[in-house]
Structure 1
Amino acid sequence: MTVSELSSDQLFELKQYYLTQHLLEVEGRSPSYGELADADSIVDDAIIFEEYAGVVFSEDDFFCSAI
């Protein structure tokens, strides 16, 4: 599936991952629990769609999809 086909839970998880990587690279720190909880409002959808355009995901890529 492509980034535009992700469920809202999968998109939220991807935003948390992106935020974590971004803060580590730019500020040299991990996000707070509050930042992770607010990742949906901190990271704009457009950034995720641009960053992960062309990436093919599977259900196994996401913890929220694990059964």
Structure 2
Amino acid sequence: MGKGLVADTHELAATAARSLASGCCDVVLVVGAWLNRLLHFGEPPKWSKDVKFILVDVSREEI
């Protein structure tokens, strides 16, 4: 959820409402992480069924 990129007190910080935010988002930018069990494999109901993932990694083989 961008921990450390946006201050916890910023009006656009979704730290306290991550489940709500992840279930309602249209696009997710995943930088340096995998869609593993911690991110519920990018599957509903945790994520919207129509969500689009943009995966960014330093290693092309990992994507």
Shorter-normalised TM range: under 0.3
Greater share of helix residues, 1 or 2? 1
Greater share of strand residues, 1 or 2? 2
TM-score by length of 2: 0.27
TM-score by length of 1: 0.26
Structure number with greater CO (CA < 8 Å, separation at least 6) is 1
